[in-house]
Structure 1
Amino acid sequence: MFKHTLTGFVRSVILLAALFVALPAAAADRTLLILGDSLSAGYGVPTETAWVQLLRQRLVDRGLEHWDVVNASISGETTDGGARRLPDLLEKHRPDIVMVELGGNDGLRGFPPDVIRANLTTMITESQKAGARVVLVGMQIPPNYGQRYTEAFAGLYPSLSDRYGTALVPFFLADIYNHDELMQNDGIHPTEAGQPRLLENVWPVLAPLLEASETARR
């Protein structure tokens, strides 16, 4: 009799263990999709110190571990590449928020502003059609590209944000690009020390959207 009772107990323990394994460690029921280039892919810095990983840790620290941060950033990505990849990402992840951090590589390659605008518009509108809130991350390029081009490029982000009602990070590299100790030798990518500042440039814009999404889903 004792043997049968013990056998039943062991089976119950195994069943309970299987149920716990089947459940996720943290029920991530909201998704933030980051569609960016090398600045968000963590080029030249350890993965655990890149700004996106710092964001994940901040969410956990603030009791928002149910947010899944999907980093779909690729070094060298352009707005054209992002626009091509986005539909599959939207279908797969069904994000609540989409952060579009693209355009820097387009500007450095001298792509026409109208082409960049069209691609950014596509990403914004497709994300909104999928029910996601959009954060547009603004960029600027060096003045050696000429005043006319640099101003046209920088103006893309606020004008698109105004037109489509997105949240806007005015300049991703604000208070970073002008500090040599925070920039890698290429003058393009922030160092490990610059990663927390990237997060601080994003957080004041992102935090209200996280809060609004929390409220809407209650």
Structure 2
Amino acid sequence: MRASLRAVFLTVLVALVAACGGSGPGDFDPLPRQATVLAFGDSVTHGTGAGDGEDFPARLGAITGWTIINDGVPGDDANSARERLAPGLREHEPDLVLIWLGGNDFLSQREPASVKEDLRVLVGIVRDHGARPVLLGVPRASALGAATGRLQDDPIYRELAREEQVALIEGVLSGVLSERELRADPVHPNARGYRRIASEIAAALDDLGLWLAPG
């Protein structure tokens, strides 16, 4: 029941992004089953907190049928990631890039405005290469938010999505880290959490029209 409610919640969030000027439901043609997707991020993308094969890119690939490359580097931030994005694009030639960065920036107390500009550069690099970027929101670290189950994505993600007209998937990590049973530690999901993440990202990609769920 809770998973169904979360899927509905994600649908509403994607629609809200569309209303704010970002890309919304049905704005894209679906990627073919043989598509290559680059999951570009930090330790959450890498799968820290779970075992081999339990990371969200592996689980998302199993759901969608796409070839999903896990390019998550633990400890990476939105600034340092700029140096490795272009080589990764040239190596894998992805159709779609999931950009999920910012958590380490917030933990090191970087100014959100600076993080936002680094993310803007990453979006531009992906577009210049001819791939389609999708931005995923990240919550700013909050012990109170985690304890009360009320973590929320930092506003910079919605702002950037509106300004750059880039597709945004919100609330996924915030929701998982707000539930104690889904996290391995305060900033990383466990295997169940990554399973939830993959399911919710797939639902959001379906809402955007990038993936067509069976049936």
Q: Which residue of 2 aligns with 1:113?
A: 112
Q: Which residue of 1 aligns with 2:180?
A: 180
**Contact 1:168–1:205 (CA under 8 A) maintained in structure 2:** no
Q: Measure how far apart 1:212 and its partner are.
A: 7.1
Tell me, what secondary structure is at the counterpart of 2:61? helix
Tell me, what secondary structure is at the counterpart of 2:125? helix
Q: Which residue of 2 aligns with 1:91?
A: 90
Tell me, what secondary structure is at the counterpart of 1:72? strand
What aligned pairs does 1:7-22 form with structure 2 within 5 A after superposition? none
Mapped partners of 2:190, 2:120: distance in 1: 30
Mapped partners of 2:48, 2:208: distance in 1: 27
Q: Which residue of 2 aligns with 1:14?
A: none
What aligned pairs does 1:18-167 form with structure 2 within 5 A after superposition? 30-60=35-65, 67-143=66-142, 154-167=154-167
Identical residues among aligned pairs (%)? 27
1:67-114 Cα deviation digits (max 9, x unpaired): 321111111110012111111112222211111000010001101222
Mapped partners of 2:95, 2:128: distance in 1: 12
Aligned length: 174
Mapped partners of 1:108, 1:55: distance in 2: 27
Mapped partners of 1:143, 1:56: distance in 2: 31
Structure with higher helix content: 1
Runs of 5+ consecutive residues of structure 1 not aligned to the other structure: 1-27, 61-66, 146-152, 214-218
**Contact 2:39–2:97 (CA under 8 A) maintained in structure 1:** yes
Mapped partners of 1:59, 1:50: distance in 2: 15
- Once superposed, what is the RMSD of the aligned Cα atoms? 2.5
**Contact 1:34–1:69 (CA under 8 A) maintained in structure 2:** yes
**Contact 1:140–1:154 (CA under 8 A) maintained in structure 2:** yes
Q: Measure how far apart 1:56 and its partner are.
A: 1.5
Change (3 A) 1:174 1:110: closer
**Contact 2:135–2:167 (CA under 8 A) maintained in structure 1:** yes
Which is greater in Rg? 1
Mapped partners of 1:117, 1:46: distance in 2: 31
* TM-score calculated relative to the size of structure 1: 0.72
**Contact 1:29–1:68 (CA under 8 A) maintained in structure 2:** yes
Higher relative contact order by CA 8 Å / sep ≥ 6: 1 or 2? Answer: 2
Opposite residue 39 of structure 2, the aligned amino acid is: I
Tell me, what secondary structure is at the counterpart of 1:32? strand
Mapped partners of 2:207, 2:126: distance in 1: 18
Change (3 A) 1:109 1:199: same
Q: Measure how far apart 1:154 and its partner are.
A: 0.8
Change (3 A) 1:167 1:194: same
Mapped partners of 2:179, 2:210: distance in 1: 32
Q: Measure how far apart 1:31 and its partner are.
A: 1.4
Runs of 5+ consecutive residues of structure 2 not aligned to the other structure: 1-32, 145-152
Change (3 A) 1:95 1:209: farther
Mapped partners of 2:118, 2:127: distance in 1: 14
Opposite residue 63 of structure 2, the aligned amino acid is: R
Tell me, what secondary structure is at the counterpart of 1:81? coil
* TM-score calculated relative to the size of structure 2: 0.73
